[in-house]
Structure 1
Amino acid sequence: MIWRYALFLAVVGLAALSSAAHAQSLADTLETIRPSVVSVGTLRPVKRVGTKSPPIRFMGTGFVVGSGEYVITNAHVLPKDLDRDNDEVLVVFSGRGKQAKPHKVVVVETDAVHDVALLRLEDRRLPALTLSTPGFIREGSEVAFTGFPLGMVLGLYPVTNKTIVSAITPFVMPALSSNLLTPAQIKRLNTPFEVYQLDAIAYPGNSGSPVYHSDSGEVIGIVNSVFVKESKEGVLAKPSAITYAIPVRYILDLLRRAER
């Protein structure tokens, strides 16, 4: 009986150690994720007399890919125009808090249909994330995303959410009546594709955040709430707080186009 009890304790101990190791895996993964997650915005060197906007505009989140020279974000995150008269430039900020540093970037490629954009760093390279293969991962898989919710309100401190893939769902849900479809939805019905639905809430500023395996850090998609909700939930007076993610295959497509 004693040896059976000892064996039972050993099994329980191993299970506890395994559980602890699993619980720590995301913490370990974050050590490699955080240096690659950047905030996307604009910068004017000096706030000039007569300008109403602040010298820094925060637009959303992005992350470094490739060999460290490229940044991926959502196309809708990019500013529609820059104040060239006051030397405003497109930048990404690496680091956190008061140690955040701006880096000038230029737009290389955009994909308006899937709402992804590829930027290139002009002054240096940063640590890059590993992209997963193009196929979908299974529903129920544990993932995480890291970004800058609410931007300058909370400061440039990356926030991580752990969640699961709750569904793989069509980008545009067919409406019961064509009268319920918006012009944007009708246009996108011509190019249907599927997206991830996540069991988490994303806030303004999270757009462009990498969605990755919590254990390996491989990126499987990019957070997109605004653009997808415009299509999927356009018929609702009060859209839900569901978070969606564009699959990694469209990021890989942009990189291939840029490297031709």
Structure 2
Amino acid sequence: MQKHRIDVSRKAVRGAGPMITHPRRTRPSEWLRLLPKMCRSAGRSRPPRPPTCAAGRALRPRMGVTAAGIVGALVCSAARAQDAAAQRITPAVRVFRECSPAVVNLSTTTIVTMQRRFGVESIFEDIFDLPAARPRSFKTNSVGSGFVIHEGGYIVTNAHVIDRASEIKVTFADGTELPAEEIARDRRHDLAVLKVDADRPLPFLRMGRSDDLMPGETVIAIGNPFGYQHTITTGIISALDRELRFSRDQVYSGLIQTDASINPGNSGGPLLNVLGELIGINTAIRGDAQNIGFAIPVDRLHDLLPAMLDIQRLRRVEFGIHFDSKEPRTNPPGIAIRSVDPGSPAHEAGVRAGDVVVGINDTATPRFMEAFSVLHHARPGNTLRLDLLRGGERSVRPVKMLAIPELDSAALMARRFGIHVRELNPADLRRRGLRRAIGLEVKSVEPGTQAAEAGLSAGDLITLFGGWPVTSLAALGPLIEQVNSGDLIPVHVLRIDGERLIRAELALQAK
């Protein structure tokens, strides 16, 4: 029986090489050899016709050939689908995939106690012990956002997100829910740091920089608006160095303005660039406008972290090292020491300002948060081995952390500001008609001091010192310790004059 040989031209199979002929009984191996070239030509030319006999009847290949054709079609279809999906992956998609595991949703619970008197609720009833008042307590819940800055479980958010919270819960992208504790807060700059205890290292965001931002640059916000978890919005940087005034006492400056949608619940979440780097912390919106949101620049967070996370204040230990917020370009990378307290354990160990810490207890410290994580787990009496770089030479210095004795906060306040204060006792609360202590009472003010010239007098109540509430001497002392000579400290004062309440803010200079 005569064998028919059918030509398949180059036009039919582009790039197939020399003219290919197929015998009547087509071998599956030849079809399989052609499949890659057929896939490449798919969509550009018509596929080859199946072999036919002289009478024009289609020849029936073996079952293996049919299966090979089906597999080839599926492979081509899958390849085209993958190519199409890859083309749809925008920078925003990549950033969300990479960064969303490090973004958390915050839910807070606040216990509010109110008094109802004559059918009218008054905020003053939370302070004053008014007669015939019936206490009523209830819980309020709010939502916000945050992001992980270190794998050890350290999270940054806005201070107002956790304000007066009695309970804080953190939810991650995979649904994991953990309780969080506040370890530091800066109300003046609306920043706070939380800590969660996780059973594994957590993904964290890379810190970028905000000194080279460009109006018109694409930005991405991820957060928890209205409780809709892990929502992404995009926009551009609308302007830089904006000022936002909430009240006479609360002014934020140097903010990033963006038209990326920032809604209630987005506060505390990250503002990212197209590289997935943190460039800002979303903080506020204009409620009377659309697409006007504001973020705290990341450089401000970077500058404030060493002061917010001062281990001496947080752990009540004497260490003596104050870190610089700027990271020097050294090999290996490390963190610079801004100053060393004279007579401190670090000073006695030979540590000096300008040294670069590249490791603590065999843990590399290329960034401040790595160093803080080690220090935060240390306790009084522990000895830390500091791996230092000085003038290109490395050395190891053992530094012992000592417990700080209790402060005489009243004496410290008198010495630095000329103000003598005391705590309110139960008899004072009854005499003033107060339900709880809301500040420290001024006993006297030294003549000729700035406080005296500002009008501060005996009987006034100091409620905030440097933005922090002070209802006890124990709370005041560590705050004064952080003050340098010449610093201007905002002090909030409440004066009760009969039935009048007079509030004032003074800026007092430390001696």
**In which range does the TM-score fall when normalised by the shorter chain?**
0.5 to 0.7
Q: TM-score, normalised by structure 2?
A: 0.36
User: What is the percentage of aligned positions where both structures have the same residue?
Assistant: 28
Identify if the C-alpha distance between structure 1 residues 58 and 51 changes in structure 2 by more than 3 Å, giving closer, same or farther: same
Identify if the C-alpha distance between structure 1 residues 21 and 111 changes in structure 2 by more than 3 Å, giving closer, same or farther: farther
Please tell me whether residue 159 in structure 1 is matched to residue 231 in structure 2. yes
- Higher Rg of the two aligned structures: 2
Write 1 or 2 for the structure with the bigger share of helix: 1
Is contact 1:63–1:129 with CA below 8 Å preserved after alignment? Answer: yes
Report how many aligned residue pairs link the two structures.
199
- CA-to-aligned-CA distance 1:97-141 (integer Å, 9 cap, x gap): xxx222122112212122111111123442000011252411111
Identify if the C-alpha distance between structure 1 residues 196 and 134 changes in structure 2 by more than 3 Å, giving closer, same or farther: closer
Higher RCO (CA-CA < 8 Å; seq separation 6+): 1
SS at match of 2:276: coil
Identify if the C-alpha distance between structure 1 residues 34 and 52 changes in structure 2 by more than 3 Å, giving closer, same or farther: same
- CA-to-aligned-CA distance 1:140-199 (integer Å, 9 cap, x gap): 111101011101xx4x3x1111110010133247xxxxxxxxxx543346xx63111101
Is contact 1:133–1:248 with CA below 8 Å preserved after alignment? Answer: yes
Identify if the C-alpha distance between structure 1 residues 256 and 67 changes in structure 2 by more than 3 Å, giving closer, same or farther: farther
After TM superposition, the structure 1 = structure 2 runs for residues 67-216 of structure 1, keeping only pairs within 5 Å, are 67-82=151-166, 89-96=167-174, 100-124=175-199, 125-151=201-227, 154=228, 156=229, 158-172=230-244, 185-188=247-250, 193-214=253-274, 216=275
Please tell me whether residue 29 in structure 1 is matched to residue 90 in structure 2. no
Counterpart Cα distance in 1 of 2:95 and 2:148 = 16
Counterpart Cα distance in 2 of 1:111 and 1:38 = 20
Note the residue ranges of structure 1 that are not aligned, 5 or more in a row: 1-16, 45-49, 83-88, 174-183, 230-237
Is contact 1:210–1:222 with CA below 8 Å preserved after alignment? Answer: yes
Q: Supply the RMSD in Å over aligned alpha carbons.
A: 2.8
C-alpha displacement of 1:52: 5.2
SS at match of 1:221: strand
- CA-to-aligned-CA distance 1:5-42 (integer Å, 9 cap, x gap): xxxxxxxxxxxx9xx86962221221111101101123
Identify if the C-alpha distance between structure 1 residues 144 and 81 changes in structure 2 by more than 3 Å, giving closer, same or farther: closer
SS at match of 1:113: helix
Is contact 1:132–1:219 with CA below 8 Å preserved after alignment? Answer: yes
Please tell me whether residue 223 in structure 1 is matched to residue 299 in structure 2. no
Identify if the C-alpha distance between structure 1 residues 91 and 31 changes in structure 2 by more than 3 Å, giving closer, same or farther: same
Identify if the C-alpha distance between structure 1 residues 254 and 105 changes in structure 2 by more than 3 Å, giving closer, same or farther: farther
Counterpart Cα distance in 1 of 2:179 and 2:297 = 27
C-alpha displacement of 1:68: 4.2
Note the residue ranges of structure 2 that are not aligned, 5 or more in a row: 1-82, 111-135, 310-371, 376-511
Counterpart Cα distance in 2 of 1:159 and 1:120 = 23
